[in-house]
Structure 1
């Protein structure tokens, strides 16, 4: 199911989003029906329109700000040859400073440092280009949004029938079991996403505050970029912080460069402390098991492997709580 879901997500994304939003707006839908004595169809169109309007305003404002900062930032990012010249310059300075440094060490370190910085450069520019390409290709995004809007309305309007038809395939005893599984599962999965959303938001907020204090331009887009990188394995926020610190060091902004490194350590340590505790508390799973799932999943199959193992533990915990396992 896990493989099938993610492999078909590019085809089913509007409907998956629509079903999630319909579930999310279900309390609002019921409130409107009870408060204004209106039908399910009318309350569904009101709640769907209201949610999509708020999301549209928020996304438009963020995209406008990101696009402007991304365009300016892309014009100031040095090209690959410039990065190599920076690396060579710093290695030569280190060589002259330490005097006795073995030249063979520089020859070995130079390609590795260049490759590391080049990879970071490619990822950063790729993400910025993706943001701009998304904005340029808005007609496709608008089509997806329109399909999602319609699907959300129909899911929201027909949610009672969908639930009834789903439960109708089970026996009386099976209905009770399935109801317990879905209730416990929705609670734990919502808690899981809430926990990781909190971790990512804290990374974004800490970065935004830190960069603003240091007076760095494009603080918003760099903070969003750090939050995105925080989700990715291996690279993490170092893909933003380290190149930014080296760039400021090259410009002679030693105070800013040191401040960035200190901020990097603070954000990293805070994440390592908060993540296992927050996720394990939310899911009622021991922190060691969460750490094991993160490490083994990343080693086995990267980010998706980590998600799969954590999801597997969540499913086991759900089935244990409802006494099926």
Structure 2
């Protein structure tokens, strides 16, 4: 009996390891290769209702209805991207116009910060003063080299962007073309995919796909809810602090916060530091408090909302985000809850047996 238990444990551990390796290979290699076609399948599903309306009510051929709907979708998305790019260019131009004045104010801000640091170092215990002096000198050295580093980093970003433009163009063109083909041949494509599934699995697979669609919709609703909550907090905070263009700034910061790489600290922390060094203590401290409130609320609500909307327990959602971040970085933090939802729904519909209910 004891050897059987050890054997079952080894088999289970091997299955878990094999599943983890398969998931990593899918995310690392298969997903980037097939991403345009997966996006095309999702877009063709989104276009199915208007395409069906055009084919049934207006008696258009399916290829013509799919072409018209795909072209309209491409035009709408291109217009949105162009509008966002124009706005980004406009804001960048304003920043470049104000950049000389900002750079001219840096020495005075640096002198104020240096005087402030000197006063606190002198007031510190004698045993700590040597350490603090060394830390201040290292910080000043890094600050003096910061403009050159920022310039090099900006140049590297621009070069990487220019290098990636052909690949991005190919990606978008492939996605648009695959969307048309997927929409025009959707009945035949779905019939082909259905024939590849064993008959005994079809009902369970259909149930699993419906549950996955519902879970994905819930996850997107959770992210939208978090974004709206962050926008409300920022708008209220900016209005209380008397910030000009409070609503517009709150929307922009909430949009930045929705990006996994950035977050509200990307905007609020440098802004608060500049205000404190400029002597505007009320606004600087208010921004720091606002950043703390937004971060705390998001940390508390994100696992719960993600779990409630997507069908994951809060602890499981938090575990998935943490493990994903440790394994794949920021991208893993976004993708791992979706993978956890996928595994849970496949287990619930009976396609996989991962744990005992």
Query: If the length of structure 1 is used for normalisation, what is the TM-score?
Result: 0.78
Q: Which residue of 2 aligns with 1:214?
A: 243
Among candidates 189, 192, 204, match of residue 162 of structure 1: 189
Q: Note the aligned Cα RMSD (angstroms).
A: 4.2
Among candidates 53, 56, 60, match of residue 82 of structure 2: 60
| Partner SS for 1:214 | coil
Kindly report which structure 2 residues correspond to 1:216-295, keeping only aligned pairs within 5 A, or say none. 219=249, 223=253, 226-227=256-257, 230-232=259-261, 236-295=263-322
Higher RCO (C-alpha 8 Å, min separation 6): 1
Deviations 1:232-267 (A, max 9, x none): 3xx642232111111122333333323322321232
Number of residue-to-residue matches in the alignment: 322
Structure 1 unaligned regions, length at least 5: none
Greater shift in the superposed pair: 305-314 or 241-250: 305-314
> Following the alignment from structure 1 to structure 2, what is the Cα–Cα distance between the partners of residues 211 and 135?
36
Q: 1:108 to 1:168 in 2, by over 3 A?
A: farther
> Following the alignment from structure 1 to structure 2, what is the Cα–Cα distance between the partners of residues 132 and 63?
18
Structure 2 unaligned regions, length at least 5: 1-22
Q: 1:240 to 1:131 in 2, by over 3 A?
A: farther
Q: 1:54 to 1:301 in 2, by over 3 A?
A: closer
> Following the alignment from structure 2 to structure 1, what is the Cα–Cα distance between the partners of residues 300 and 232?
16
Residue pair 1:66, 1:221 contacting (<8 A) in 2 also: no
> Following the alignment from structure 2 to structure 1, what is the Cα–Cα distance between the partners of residues 204 and 296?
42
Shift of residue 55, structure 1, vs aligned partner: 1.5
> Following the alignment from structure 2 to structure 1, what is the Cα–Cα distance between the partners of residues 191 and 312?
32
> Following the alignment from structure 1 to structure 2, what is the Cα–Cα distance between the partners of residues 25 and 53?
14
- Give the greater-gyration-radius structure (CA): 2
